[in-house]
Structure 1
Amino acid sequence: MNKKIKDNEQYCSDIEWVIGYIIGKTVSFTVNICIHIVNHTVNGVKREFFNKK
């Protein structure tokens, strides 16, 4: 009985780790895309602004 409880705890902690890992990867991926888009937008606006002068 004791071994089964230990296995379940291990299984749950593994699932928590995997979910945390996936969330972390997704967040960092999303942040990178946002930074990429913002940089392009800012650079585009700067170019437009300076080209007009």
Structure 2
Amino acid sequence: MVRFLVGAAVGYVLGAKAGRGRYEQIVRAYRRIADHPAVQGAAGIARAKLEDLRH
């Protein structure tokens, strides 16, 4: 969720300067990267490690 909010904030700022079309392009690129299986796997590993550190 945090990753999405950060991506959305960066996309908003860059998009506001470049126009709506560029904003949509940035959001699509972010989602494509965030939804990639390798990124999802790495995020799952990172979450598991953080969970271990909390306990």
Q: Same fold (TM over 0.5)?
A: no
Scaled by the length of structure 2, the TM-score of the pair is 0.38
Q: Which has the larger radius of gyration?
A: 1
**Larger helix fraction of residues:** 1
